[in-house]
Amino acid sequence: MKLKDGASYEDLIFFDLAFAQNSINTSTFEGCEFVNCDFRESEFRDCTFTECIFKDSDLALVKLTQTRFTETKFERCKVIGVNWTSLDWRGVTLSAPVEFHSSDISFSVFSALQLPGLKVRNCKVHEADFALCDLTGAEFVESDLTNTRFSSTKLNDCDFREASNFVINPTENFVVGANFTFPEVLNLLSSFGIKID
């Protein structure tokens, strides 16, 4: 099936869709599932995804211009280099509209977004930017956060159990009630230049 501009898709499953370096405008997807699809370097402009699931798909460098997501999941997907700040975030305040499971979301930009309750479970999150975000109650369980940036970020009540390679300065972020596991919790001291034997 070929995706078309201005179309409405409901309760459909897309298998092996080849859509790399393409674009689609003003289409809506509700209750749809995308399995093993290739969206590399494509652009979704003014589109809407509601209660959709992406599985085993490649969305590297996808552009999401003024596009909206609601209750959408990414499972075992490659979602690297995505600028999430370009979405249409109007009216999205109660909880994060997307969640990631066993996916690679490295080099993505989320800076200054309101994403309370964001779920990032068992993911590769290298060099992503969460500066100035509200991530209250978010989950980063079992995720690798190598070189990911947290600055003036609200991390209260976040779940970092079994997360690794994070650098979070407790004096520059809000971490009250956040949950960490040993020995990774010692990473909180790295910004102070402390040596631990």
Give the whole-angstrom CA distance, residue 151 versus residue 47.
31
* Domains defined for the chain, CATH in brackets: 8-76 (2.160.20.80), 79-191 (2.160.20.80)
- Mean pLDDT over residues 181-193, rounded? 63
Half-sphere exposure of 78 (CA within 13 A, CB side): 11
d(C-alpha 37, C-alpha 133), whole Å: 30
Euclidean distance between the first and the last CA atom of the chain, given in angstroms as a whole number:
60
State mean pLDDT over 159-177: 88
- The CA distance from 28 to 97, in Å, is 15
Kindly tell me if the per-residue pLDDT of 185 is higher than 70.
no
How much is the pTM? 0.91
Which residue is it, tokens 């209250």? 136
Tens digit of each residue's pLDDT (9 = 90 or more) over 73-94: 999 999 999 999 999 888 665 6
Kindly state the average pLDDT of the residues 130-139.
Answer: 95
CB atoms within 10 A of CB 41: 17
Q: What percent of the chain has pLDDT over 70?
A: 90
Interval 111-122 mean pLDDT: 94
Query: What is the reported pLDDT for 103?
Result: 98
Count of CB atoms within 10 A of residue 182's CB?
6
Q: Is 185 helix (H, G, I), strand (E, B) or coil?
A: helix
